């Protein structure tokens, strides 16, 4: 259960709209299901009062929307950013993708978001509605008469369980408590497990995972690091363009190319895995890169500071030699 | 569609010996775009070049593929040939079927097949080539010499005499380097200081030379003709332009127990010091690690006695930024540490010394004023044992020592042995050696004089152990020619320590992007034909930083490096490389990744108005490449996430076409 309530956000949004600080509000609107929330712009107080939603399914990272939504709009957009979103936001500022003066950032504290697939694993399919109650999530399915209760702990998304930071690295104003970074989050645990595998085992693992890819591009479309004017996968001249996988090799390469493209820029927000309809743990590819960068060049968190130079695009004479990478043990 | 001509070279039997050139020419005829394909004995000969020119005219060729040696050898030749026939020189591609094919294969079948594949790749790339035009960049007419030993001194003097400005950066308080520490020089036995110090004075007085002593190069940017170098002038706490070098401060300095590095710690100096009498610049330096004033804030004696007021305890490091057209590396060498050679008891007995320490013990300006005395008790030694190859010519797998020959030890040991016998006829001198190597003018005669006229005992064999016993050093050794064990009670043992590049060399090489070998010696562009140039354009090598060298070789190389620098600096403009990066503004998303990785600062960002597909206008931040500054390294093309950066002449599509052709 979020300690931040819908009312805290709507009253803030309406007052900022009314006093002219912002001309639009980026928030969540109900989608097809109550747990399926869609980021959306609100321009009026009425719209906010009627349709603004905030609950444990507000996992979507807003930063990427700001890249396009801030273009051609008069005045500022109010964006409610969770701690993890602020890292992505900063990274986009670093890459000059968002005009900072066009955004009014309200940092909101976060108690971890729910993962619908984890709930589904407990209650079974056919969820018709979910309500967030103090003692847990009340889940109604079409097969049951009574709603089932799922605890917030059981429902919490994996990326939130090993949350790297509850601290906002950027905001104009804060709602709720400011948290701390969490260096002991053990977010590389699964990566270490993969590293411990033999190359054959690892290859089999990834082939199994990636074979499910239907090349829907959701991971790319949601990724805040993927904001190219023209993605290489949409560029006929890139040699990598393909809308659907023609061979099993291709979907593997798609994800590996994507991981390379966001290496050093990925803030580990975990949106790729959240939106994947095939439940491929794509964030592990990115975390492997983050772990390697930390090991080779010292701790680096993309988005922590605006303008920071990622080790991969920064050269120092102390950088390790390629041979040292080659000689290391494991993968 | 291109009209491509393919020309397969035999290179005598160099290629034709392992590649069926006729079959290659025949096979490549069928590749897309190829309208002509032939072979010839020597494509680089006049007749071969005429063949290319005639084919260009006759078949209206738009591109030429030459299957021959490495592009490093003859790419320029064939580009000129094509240009002479009216073709854009960048419409020539070389398929290297010699170094990368015929020379590495023994089997004709395999070699031929690979040559066909390499030819096919070049054709695939050429099909995507577009004509390119080179721009020009100006040359900064000033050279930087890093290192102020004899190598740096000679190079600087030669460049300065030709009329160009030169700066020497020396990390010690004075120039002079190792040669200033030597006593006599082989094979003529003239005093090192007597021949070096006039050159040091020349450097100090030369109107075209500036000396940045007690300084270090901390950053290098730019490229041939246009280097931007940052130099840190370490605070010496003495105003260089005020100090007269009178030495009064040294007399009065109460801190007299500082190990004197110029005499390799064999005696002491004061905390404020001038390394030696002929130092250039002759300016005192305060050693902040020992200066009482710097450490406790109480003393200030030197400041009181200094008549010109040169002392400035609050002096700060100064950072200088300067532009240079060429950089000469002359960082020199050091003897290796004797830490790993405990068998010679170097750490146990003061009477076991390295050869460089022995130079100081023999030198009139050294700790003993030139009288050979044992460091332990100041007594006159009677039996001296010289050990050669200490750390040189070691097994590759050995954890200590170097694989290479240090080159200078045979000769200086002969010199030492001869000088000792000459000055002190009552001594017995033994030299233990693996071989005696004396390939130099008058070198072997010199060595034979030591043996025949001076009665030095040369013994083929190595010393196994040196053990201090009382005031003697018990030397156990083997005599391989007489096949017996020797036990010598020596008074002194002198170790000919291997030499290694200065420890600053590696970080400097990284700054200069100059390549090094496994021993940290700088690599030359070609071991025979370009021995004084680094493969990195505009970087030149002088002296022992490139490999062990004696003084004659060092001076010769220093002069050669200077002549190469002069050859560069006389040019007003350098023809640039048209294979530079180019940003596709429509795809650029303005993320600055390319700008961050560009080592030359060639990329800037501008806000530019664009008409969007929906007929609106939008101001977007896009990258622009300055083609005069870009060196075509391609780092930006890799960093760009959207593929908006591409390299002319080496476009991603061209590389992929080559790869596809090879993997087909």
CATH number at residue B628: 3.30.70.3270
The answer to whether residues A264 and A209 belong to one domain is yes
Partners of B495 in the beta sheet? Answer: B354, B387
The pLDDT value given to residue A248: 66
- CATH for B182: 3.50.50.60
Q: Are residues A330 and A207 in the same domain?
A: yes
Gap between the Cα atoms of A125 and A120, Å rounded: 6
- C-alpha span between B341 and B354 (Å, rounded): 12
Question: How many alpha carbons fall within 13 Å on the CB side of residue B288?
Answer: 13
What's the order of all strands across the beta sheet hosting B484-490?
A: B463-469, B472-479, B484-490
Say how many Å lie between the first and final Cα of chain A, rounded.
Answer: 40
> CA torsion B454→B458→B464→B467, rounded to 10°?
-20
A22 with A59, same domain: the answer is yes
Is the minimum CB–CB distance between B70 and chain A shorter than 8 Å? no
Q: Is residue B49 situated within a structural domain? A: yes
Per-residue model confidence (pLDDT) at position B396: 66
Please, what is the angle between helix B652-663 and helix B108-126, to 10°?
A: 150
- Do A93 and A140 fall within a single domain? no
Flag whether B290 is in a domain: yes
Same domain, A217 and A139: no
The residue ranges of chain B whose pLDDT is under 70 are 396-398
Nearest in space to A300 (alpha carbons), one of A254, A260, A268, A255: A268
Task: Give A 285-314 residues with CB within 8 A of chain B.
Answer: 309, 312-314
Question: Residues A284, A177: one domain?
Answer: no
Domain's final residue, options B469, B484, B500:
B500
| Lookup: tokens for B276 | 């030696």
Bridge pairing between strands B318-324 and B226-233: antiparallel
| Interface residue B510 vs chain A (CB under 8 A) | yes
Domain membership of residue A51 as a residue range: 1-113+162-185
Residue with tokens 């007269």: B244
- The yes-or-no verdict on residue A322 having pLDDT over 90 is no
Cross-chain Cβ contact B587/A228 below 8 Å: yes
Asked whether residue B135 is domain-assigned, the answer is: no
CA distance A257 to A249: 12
For residues B38 and B96, membership in a common domain is answered with: yes
The pLDDT assigned to B223 comes to 87
Q: What is the pLDDT of residue A329?
A: 56
Chosen for mutation from B589, B645, B658, B661 (greatest number of chain A CBs closer than 10 Å) is: B589
Q: What is the pLDDT of residue A237?
A: 75
Structural tokens at position A31: 């989608």
In the stretch 101-130 of chain A, residues with CB closer than 8 A to chain B read none
User: A208 and A128, same structural domain?
Assistant: no
Structure tokens at B512: 């200069």
Q: For B660, name the nearest residue in chain A, comparing CA atoms only.
A: A239
Same domain, A166 and A260: no
Q: Give the model's pLDDT for residue A330.
A: 47
**Per the domain annotation, does B202 fall within a domain?**
yes
**E strand residue ranges, chain A:** 24-30, 37-42, 52-53, 77-81, 103-108, 127-133, 136-141, 148-150, 173-175
Same domain, B442 and B525: no
A71-124 pLDDT, tens digit each = 888 999 999 999 999 999 999 999 999 999 999 999 999 999 999 999 999 999
Residues B83, B149, single domain; the answer is no
pLDDT at A254 over 70: yes
pLDDT of the residue at B137: 87
What is the average per-residue pLDDT within A25-29?
94
- Decide if B31 is inside a domain: yes
A125–chain B nearest CA distance, Å: 40
> Would B242 be classed as within a structural domain?
no
A269-273 mean pLDDT: 95
CB contact under 8 A, A96 and B597: no
Same domain, B542 and B491: no
Q: How far apart are CA B169 and CA B214, in angstroms?
A: 8
Q: Which of A69, A96, A300, A314 to mutate to test the interface with B (most CBs of B within 10 A)?
A: A96
Q: How many domains does chain A have?
A: 3
Per-residue pLDDT at B398? 67
Q: Are residues B506 and B458 in the same domain?
A: no
ipTM of the complex: 0.86
pLDDT at B371: 95
Judge if B514 and B371 occupy the same domain. no
Domain boundary among B500, B521, B540: B500
B468 and B600 both lie in a single domain: no
The answer to whether residue A151 neighbours chain B at the CB level (below 8 Å) is no
Residues B177, B34, single domain; the answer is no
**B457/B476 same-domain check:** yes
Is residue A233 a contact partner of residue A220, using CB atoms and an 8 Å limit?
A: yes
Q: Which of B511, B542, B569 is the last residue of a domain?
A: B569
Question: How many angstroms separate the CA atoms of B46 and B183, rounded?
Answer: 56
Number of helices and strands in chain A (H, E): 14, 9
Cβ neighbours of B618 in A, within 8 Å: 71-72
Q: Tell me the whole-structure pTM to 2 decimals.
A: 0.75
What the block records as the tokens of B297 is 């804030």
Domain span including residue B93:
4-126
Query: Do B72 and B214 belong to one domain?
Result: no
| Cα–Cα distance for residue pair B280/B147, rounded to 1 Å | 13
Domains held by chain B: number: 5
Question: Would B575 be classed as within a structural domain?
Answer: no
Q: Is the same domain home to A213 and A326? A: yes
Say if residue B539 is in the same domain as residue B457: no
Q: Could you tell me if A39 and A95 lie in one domain?
A: yes
**Is the minimum CB–CB distance between A142 and chain B shorter than 8 Å?**
no
Check whether residue B356 and residue B475 sit in a common domain.
yes
| A2 and A131 both lie in a single domain | no
Buried b (16+ CB within 10 A) or exposed e, B333-351: bbbbebeebeebbbeebeb
Q: Tell me whether residue B155 is in a domain.
A: yes
Contacting residues for A203 by C-beta, under 8 A, at least 6 apart: none
Do A90 and A176 belong to one domain?
yes
């Amino acid at each position: 259960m979020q300690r931040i309530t819908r009312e805290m956000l709507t009253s803030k949004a309406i007052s900022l709209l009314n006093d002219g600080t912002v001309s639009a509000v980026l928030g969540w609107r109900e989608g097809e299901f109550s747990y399926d929330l869609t980021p959306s712009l609100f321009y009026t107080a009425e719209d906010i009062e009627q349709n603004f939603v905030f609950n444990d399914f507000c996992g979507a990272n807003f930063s990427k929307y700001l890249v396009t939504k801030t273009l051609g709009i008069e005045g500022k957009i109010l964006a409610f950013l969770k701690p993890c979103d602020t890292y992505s936001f900063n990274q986009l500022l670093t890459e000059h993708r968002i005009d900072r003066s066009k955004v009014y950032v309200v940092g909101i504290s976060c108690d971890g978001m729910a993962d619908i697939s984890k709930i589904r694993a407990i209650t079974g399919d056919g969820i018709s509605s979910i309500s967030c109650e103090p003692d847990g999530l009340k889940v109604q399915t079409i097969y049951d008469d009574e709603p089932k209760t799922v605890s917030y702990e059981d429902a919490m998304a994996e990326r939130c369980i090993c949350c790297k930071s509850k601290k906002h690295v950027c905001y104009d104003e804060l709602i709720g408590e400011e948290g701390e970074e969490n260096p002991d989050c053990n977010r590389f645990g699964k990566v270490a497990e993969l590293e411990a595998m033999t190359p054959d085992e690892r290859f089999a693992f990834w082939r199994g995972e990636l074979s499910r890819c239907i090349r829907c591009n959701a991971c790319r479309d949601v990724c805040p690091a993927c904001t190219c004017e023209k993605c290489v996968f949409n560029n006929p001249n890139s040699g990598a363009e393909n809308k659907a996988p023609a061979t099993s090799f291709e979907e593997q390469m798609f994800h590996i190319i994507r991981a390379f493209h966001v290496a050093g820029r990925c803030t580990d927000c975990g949106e790729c895995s959240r939106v994947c309809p095939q439940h491929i743990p794509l964030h592990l590819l990115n975390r492997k890169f983050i772990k390697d960068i930390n090991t080779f060049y010292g701790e680096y968190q993309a988005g922590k500071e605006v303008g920071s130079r990622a080790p991969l695009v920064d050269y120092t004479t102390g950088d390790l030699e390629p041979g040292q990478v080659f000689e290391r043990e494991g993968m | 569609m291109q009209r491509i001509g393919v020309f397969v070279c035999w290179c005598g039997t160099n290629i034709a010996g392992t590649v069926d050139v006729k079959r290659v020419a025949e096979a490549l005829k069928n590749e897309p775009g190829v309208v002509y394909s032939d072979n010839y004995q020597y494509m680089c000969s006049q007749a071969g070049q005429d063949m290319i020119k005639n084919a260009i005219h006759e078949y209206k060729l738009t591109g030429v593929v030459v299957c021959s040696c490495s592009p490093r050898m003859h790419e320029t030749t064939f580009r000129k040939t094509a240009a002479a026939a009216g073709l854009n020189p960048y419409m020539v591609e070389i398929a290297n079927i010699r170094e990368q094919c015929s020379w590495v294969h023994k089997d004709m079948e395999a070699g031929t097949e690979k040559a066909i594949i390499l030819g096919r790749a070049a054709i695939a790339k050429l099909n995507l080539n577009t004509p390119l035009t080179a721009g020009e960049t100006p040359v900064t007419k000033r050279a930087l010499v890093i290192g102020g030993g004899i190598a740096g001194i000679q190079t600087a003097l030669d460049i300065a005499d030709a009329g160009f400005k030169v700066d020497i950066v020396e990390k010690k308080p004075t120039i002079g380097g190792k040669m200033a520490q030597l006593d006599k020089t082989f094979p003529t036995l003239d005093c090192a200081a007597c021949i070096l110090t006039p050159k040091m004075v020349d450097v100090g007085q030369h109107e075209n030379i500036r000396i940045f002593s007690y300084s270090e190069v901390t950053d290098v940017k730019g490229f041939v003709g246009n280097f931007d170098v940052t130099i840190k002038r370490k605070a010496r706490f003495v105003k260089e332009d005020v100090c007269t070098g009178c030495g009064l401060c040294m007399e009065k300095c109460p801190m007299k127990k500082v190990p004197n590095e110029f005499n390799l710690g064999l005696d002491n100096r004061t905390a404020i010091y001038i390394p030696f009498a002929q130092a250039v610049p002759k300016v005192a330096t305060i050693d902040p690690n020992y200066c009482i004033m710097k450490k406790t804030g109480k003393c200030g004696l030197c400041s009181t006695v200094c008549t010109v007021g040169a002392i400035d305890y609050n002096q700060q490091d100064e950072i200088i930024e300067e532009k240079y057209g060429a950089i000469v590396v002359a960082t020199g060498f050091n003897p290796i540490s004797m830490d790993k050679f405990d068998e010679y008891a170097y750490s146990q007995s003061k009477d076991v010394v390295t050869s460089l320490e022995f130079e100081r013990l023999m030198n009139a300006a050294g700790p003993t004023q030139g009288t050979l005395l044992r460091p332990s008790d100041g007594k006159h030694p009677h039996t001296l044992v010289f050990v050669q190859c200490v750390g040189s010519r070691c097994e590759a797998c050995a954890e200590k020592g170097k694989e290479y020959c240090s080159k200078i030890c045979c000769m200086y040991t002969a010199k030492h042995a001869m000088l000792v016998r000459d000055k002190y006829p009552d001594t017995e001198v033994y030299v233990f050696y693996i071989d005696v190597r004396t390939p130099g003018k008058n070198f072997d005669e010199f060595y034979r004089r030591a043996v025949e006229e001076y009665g030095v005992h040369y013994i083929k064999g190595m010393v196994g152990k040196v053990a201090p016993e009382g005031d003697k050093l018990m030397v156990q050794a083997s005599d391989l020619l007489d096949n017996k064990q020797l036990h010598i009670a020596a008074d002194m043992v002198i170790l000919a320590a291997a030499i290694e590049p200065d420890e600053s060399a590696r970080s400097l090489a990284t700054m200069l992007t100059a390549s090094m070998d496994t021993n940290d010696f700088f690599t030359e562009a070609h071991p025979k034909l370009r021995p004084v140039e680094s493969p990195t354009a505009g970087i030149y090598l002088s002296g022992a930083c490139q490999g062990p060298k004696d003084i004659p070789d060092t001076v010769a190389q220093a002069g050669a490096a200077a002549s190469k620098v002069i050859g560069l600096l006389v040019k007003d403009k350098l023809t640039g490389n048209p294979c530079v990066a180019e940003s596709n503004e429509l795809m650029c998303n303005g993320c600055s990744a390319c700008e961050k990785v560009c080592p030359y600062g060639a990329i800037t960002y501008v806000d530019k108005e664009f008409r969007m597909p929906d007929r609106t206008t939008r101001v977007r931040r896009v990258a622009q490449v300055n083609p005069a500054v870009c060196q075509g390294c391609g780092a930006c093309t890799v960093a760009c996430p959207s593929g908006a950066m591409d390299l002319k002449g080496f476009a991603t599509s061209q590389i992929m076409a080559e790869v596809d052709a090879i993997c087909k």
